[in-house]
Structure 1
Amino acid sequence: MACWMSCGRPGRICGWCVRRCGLGSRLVMLLLCRNSGWSLWRVSRNLRSLIGRGSRLSLDTMTSSGTSSDQILGIQEPRIGTWPDGDEAIGQVAVRWFRDFGLTYFPWQNFTQTKMLRGGVRGAKWSAPTVCIVCTRQQGKSWVLVGRMLFGLFQLPWERTIIFTAHLFATAREIFRDVLGIIDSHPELKSRVKRVTTGAGHEGIELKDGSRIRFLARSKDSARGWQADLIVCDEAYAMTADEVAALRPTTTQSVNPQFIYASSAGMDSSDVLRSLREKGIEGSPGLAYFEWSAEDDAQNDDLDAIRQANPSLGYSNQTLDDVLTDLQDLAEDRYRRERLGIWSPIAAENAVPAGAWESCRDREWPESVQLSRVAIGVDVPPDRSSATVAVAGVREGESGVSVELFQQAEGTDWVAPVLRELLDARGRVPVLVDGSSAAAALETDFRAHRVRAQFLSTRVYAQACGAFFDAVVNGRLKHRGQRDLDRAVGVAGQSMKGAGLWVWKRPDTTHNIAPLCASTLAVHGCLNRRDSGQKSSGKRRAVVL
């Protein structure tokens, strides 16, 4: 077998040769393996002629290309899919541009590109500033991301800085090589490059006009201090709230930002991805969500389930036999997640005994309560859809701690101003935040409003969770029976952190335990205050809430 494309090098076909030829498509690789180099060239020319006629791209375009009538084909539309309305002009241009540079996508990849690139015409914003793509492994998610980044880098003038992140550095480096391989294979792209950085952990490409793309492994400090217009997060099943908090603020100054998540099915610890999925199912505004997966109760060898979870089946060199081989070789839970796209379940495990919590309820909670040793707790759920502020303190003449939700509302912009107003009215009060939670991203807002907050380490926060639990089961805590706090306590489980420590854990994305987390922080602040109460002008005073 020889490659007769632009590199002109005879020899066995390998990944290096494909990149050198600029053939980033698995469809072309399949034809190359099955036919001669001449047949491949003929098919490639036919595709270019299709583009030249200006035909409208749809799921029907290319459905039969490279496939035979007796092949089993993956289903091209996502089983779960929601996306905002919008003009698809940019998406249509993008798909044709991809083809011109050898990225001949499968129908499901074209479908995803056009839907996530809705809007952006004549100064308008993207219809979906947030995108999430969930699909089984080895289907071609990465090539969707590669094409999107190349189009933004070379064709969208407002996307000056692009950041690609992955859970593992090896993944980020591999995507960097794929992007660079396509650029090197096309002189019209390569001529626009000013600098390529290849140092370990510093991979990047900069154009002569100043546009650039960086490839990073994620951490809680990734991209801090950067400003970006497009953020692409691969392996999103492993994303944490800390990592989202580090990346999200980088797009605040962009005129038209987009944040893209891509992943295989979530695991029991995939809180960030589960939150996005729940929003996608609900059809949340501003989110384009695409998920190729089988139903949770699907049989392992069900053909329709396999086709629904593997959209590239029959379009690439992936066959039904490959899937069934994995069924024999993989453990059942891994097969269902990796091949059928079925999410790992989360077992409900209520940490706080219902009877103990109910016994702590103060049914005669007064309209106004005088508290000393007051502290404030703030928490934000992973999806950042809302925020909760809780207050705890000691009532006059009592030794136990009283806690209540002070304010809970959608969004997070209101938190810092409310805290500033509260501190101005009540004097110095400690404000506590879990430093590994989504609320940590409020640090900039706190500074702007002169709110001094204590950001607890994971270890200290785990100790706070244990202290809250002890206060409940030992009857040393009082609450007023607020619905949102009751619900949070009723569903929260435990996530072990080692050395006997644990923190509160959500059972799934449908439940918000931020009221419990904020209350835990407030109680911890109250129990650990160095002074005995609030101080103002050197005189102690109680706080009335």
Structure 2
Amino acid sequence: MAGEKGRTEPRLWTKPLRPLTRESTLGYEVIDFAEQILGIRLYPWQRWLLIHALELLDDNTTYRFRRVIVLVGRQNGKTLIVQVLCAWWLFVDSCRYPDRVPPLRFKIVGTAQNLDIAREPWNAVKLWCDPEPPSLEEADAAIPTLQNATLKVSDTNGDEYIRARSLARYEIRAAKNIRGKPNARVVMDELREQTKWDAWNAVAPTTKSFWNGQLWGVSNAGDARSVVLTKQRDAALAFLDDWEHKVEAGLIGAAEYAAAHDCSLGLFEWSASDGCAKDDIDAILQSNPSIGYGAQTVEAVLADIDAMTDAAYRTEDLCQWVTAQVEGYIDVDEWERTIVSPLQIRIPHGARTVWGIDVSVDRSHTWIAAAVLDDQGRPVVNLRERRKGLMWVPEYMKRLAEESGMWEVAIQSKGCPAMEFIEPLKQMGFTVHEVDGSHIGLATGRLRDRVREGRLVHTAQTLVDQAIEGGVTKVIAENEAWDRRRSIVDISGVAAITVALYGLETCEPPEPEGSAYQDHDLITF
């Protein structure tokens, strides 16, 4: 692995409208500023990003992108990009068009959910430019050119700002404290942490009302809670898909496309492809573009596999989107090892099957699962049906039972909406195994036991696999049971599988009437 280098080009990115030269992008200027003024040699991926993200429109003055979303694995130097950009904006870009934007009105705002995150790049710029450094160490780190261009630095808590002699200003604010004054530039660091819309709704419009305003969102990948980042990324991916099918397919030219579409959102994402193995070297190099150029190494990333949860590793090191940033009750790796192809499953003729039923906590969907033993005596589980609402369930279950000859159902009998099905199903002739509150924890633990033992058999089902990744538990009668409200995703499918397995393994079957078990073929896959 020695000598391996991270990928300069991101896996997902917004293509330029025209060739990028020193006339059509200001990225080269920022690179020169970093080298000649700051003494910083940027990594190849950082230079690539600046060149593409600072693309200009045909007038060679106006930024193409009003919003720039950058996603990259941790410890790759994304904060350095913000530091360099903010210094360049403050001391160079703010003075570019004084007739349109007087430097006095040119304000840069750095923000994050946690103010300490926004303070990190601000402190670096302060270190470079403070005309009155408070210590000898800081004086040694200062850059005289920038010190001479700085009027004042305020480090007062809650009022941190740098004022250039041009009167341009760079300040930091907690996300909750920003309101709608116009801002020339905004950097929202760790955008994945924005779990509500308040900060974005307050900040994003402030650059729209500013001529040539620009907002940068910089982050690792997010999870189901990252509502703001998810929305921006989804919009950018939709644009990329449309561009690919029209421009790259040769159906329309870039200029013609730009004339009819909003092309002002840019996405630049260094991430591993979905579903890759955690130790896939190519994936690691794609999501960690600084490897081979700085302190980041393939070995350091691989070492995190055993040191971090699956969700954290995929989010931070591979920059992959995961269902939730939680430590799930069932280990994801162990769950994946019990997945088999449907062609590998052999169910004996007429094998006893128990259906499991559960309802989403908001009553939006009902889930039906099946549990049966294969020809080796191993429990096989799968999600059989998921539909909106509840009213359809009794008739569906009746048809399913009549077709299969299997009339056993397991349902949590207390504390969940599914308990409403117990009496109607009994009246239809079903044997209903009621899993009450004291036993639901045992049922949840039994599912994990079977996964740990490697005895459980199931096929890959996206909704179930996501629920395993994001499902958390609560303590009931000294046992852990699925917690529908705290889990990031709807885990009702897994809850249905849980009670189905419990019913199959612990509940006595009814006496067979006639030859139901012999006369029906049940195909659950």
State the TM-score, normalizing by the size of structure 2: 0.53
After superposition, the C-alpha distances for 1:142-181 in whole angstroms (9 at most, x for unaligned) are 1111111111111113471110111212122222111112
Q: For residues 160-309 of structure 1, what are the structure 2 equivalents within 5 Å?
A: 160-184=106-130, 185-219=142-176, 222-239=177-194, 240-283=196-239, 285-309=263-287
SS at match of 1:283: helix
What residue number does 1:432 align with? none
Distance 1:121 1:189 in 2: 32
Q: Which runs of 4+ in 1 moved over 3 A?
A: 86-89, 120-124, 346-351, 353-360, 500-503
What residue number does 1:91 align with? 27
Q: For residues 7-46 of structure 1, what are the structure 2 equivalents within 5 Å?
A: none
After superposition, the C-alpha distances for 1:68-116 in whole angstroms (9 at most, x for unaligned) are x951211111111114425534221221111112121000000000111
Contact 2:222-2:322 at 8 Å conserved across structures: yes
Q: For residues 236-385 of structure 1, what are the structure 2 equivalents within 5 Å?
A: 236-239=191-194, 240-283=196-239, 285-345=263-323, 351=362, 352-353=364-365
Contact 1:115-1:288 at 8 Å conserved across structures: no
Higher mean C-alpha displacement, 236-245 vs 155-164: 155-164
Distance 1:359 1:336 in 2: 39
Displacement after TM superposition at 1:321 (Å) = 2.0
Residue type matched to 1:342 in 2?
Q
Contact 1:129-1:258 at 8 Å conserved across structures: yes
Residue type matched to 1:169 in 2?
L
Displacement after TM superposition at 1:358 (Å) = 9.5
Displacement after TM superposition at 1:501 (Å) = 12
Displacement after TM superposition at 1:341 (Å) = 1.2
| 2:84 equivalent among 127, 131, 147 | 147
Residue type matched to 1:165 in 2?
T
SS at match of 1:250: helix
Residue type matched to 2:160 in 1?
E
| 1:100 matched to 2:36 | yes
Displacement after TM superposition at 1:132 (Å) = 0.3
What residue number does 2:9 align with? 77
Displacement after TM superposition at 1:288 (Å) = 1.2
Q: Mark the CA change 1:356 to 1:314 in structure 2 (over 3 Å): closer, same or farther.
A: closer
Contact 2:271-2:318 at 8 Å conserved across structures: yes
After superposition, the C-alpha distances for 1:452-476 in whole angstroms (9 at most, x for unaligned) are xxxxxxxxxxxxxxxxx9xxxxxxx
Displacement after TM superposition at 1:127 (Å) = 0.9
Q: Mark the CA change 1:506 to 1:177 in structure 2 (over 3 Å): closer, same or farther.
A: same
Contact 1:84-1:128 at 8 Å conserved across structures: no
SS at match of 1:198: strand
| 1:135 equivalent among 72, 84, 87 | 72
SS at match of 1:173: helix
SS at match of 1:262: strand
SS at match of 1:128: coil
Q: Mark the CA change 1:247 to 1:133 in structure 2 (over 3 Å): closer, same or farther.
A: same
Residue type matched to 1:327 in 2?
I
**Structure 1 portions without partners, runs of 5+:** 1-68, 361-468, 470-492, 508-545
SS at match of 2:26: helix
Q: Mark the CA change 1:323 to 1:207 in structure 2 (over 3 Å): closer, same or farther.
A: same
Q: Mark the CA change 1:212 to 1:324 in structure 2 (over 3 Å): closer, same or farther.
A: same
Distance 1:108 1:207 in 2: 29
After superposition, the C-alpha distances for 1:369-422 in whole angstroms (9 at most, x for unaligned) are xxxxxxxxxxxxxxxxxxxxxxxxxxxxxxxxxxxxxxxxxxxxxxxxxxxxxx
Displacement after TM superposition at 1:217 (Å) = 1.9
Q: For residues 472-511 of structure 1, what are the structure 2 equivalents within 5 Å?
A: none
Contact 2:112-2:118 at 8 Å conserved across structures: yes
Q: Mark the CA change 1:85 to 1:200 in structure 2 (over 3 Å): closer, same or farther.
A: same
After superposition, the C-alpha distances for 1:473-522 in whole angstroms (9 at most, x for unaligned) are xxxxxxxxxxxxxxxxxxxx9x99xxx9989x999xxxxxxxxxxxxxxx
Distance 1:356 1:332 in 2: 31
Displacement after TM superposition at 1:192 (Å) = 1.6
Q: Mark the CA change 1:180 to 1:120 in structure 2 (over 3 Å): closer, same or farther.
A: farther
Displacement after TM superposition at 1:299 (Å) = 0.8
Q: Mark the CA change 1:332 to 1:252 in structure 2 (over 3 Å): closer, same or farther.
A: closer
After superposition, the C-alpha distances for 1:220-277 in whole angstroms (9 at most, x for unaligned) are xx32142201111001001131111110222233111111100011022011111222
What residue number does 1:24 align with? none
After superposition, the C-alpha distances for 1:37-92 in whole angstroms (9 at most, x for unaligned) are xxxxxxxxxxxxxxxxxxxxxxxxxxxxxxxx951211111111114425534221
Distance 2:160 2:51 in 1: 28
State the TM-score, normalizing by the size of structure 1: 0.51
Contact 1:84-1:286 at 8 Å conserved across structures: no
Displacement after TM superposition at 1:138 (Å) = 0.8
Residue type matched to 1:167 in 2?
Q
**RMSD of aligned residue pairs (Cα, Å):** 3.5
Q: For residues 377-456 of structure 1, what are the structure 2 equivalents within 5 Å?
A: none
Displacement after TM superposition at 1:121 (Å) = 7.2
Identity of paired residues, percent? 27
After superposition, the C-alpha distances for 1:166-200 in whole angstroms (9 at most, x for unaligned) are 12121222221111122242222111211111011
Contact 1:83-1:289 at 8 Å conserved across structures: no
Q: Mark the CA change 1:298 to 1:226 in structure 2 (over 3 Å): closer, same or farther.
A: same
Q: Mark the CA change 1:120 to 1:144 in structure 2 (over 3 Å): closer, same or farther.
A: farther
Contact 2:180-2:202 at 8 Å conserved across structures: no
Distance 1:277 1:142 in 2: 20
Q: Mark the CA change 1:194 to 1:268 in structure 2 (over 3 Å): closer, same or farther.
A: same
| 1:125 equivalent among 62, 73, 90 | 62
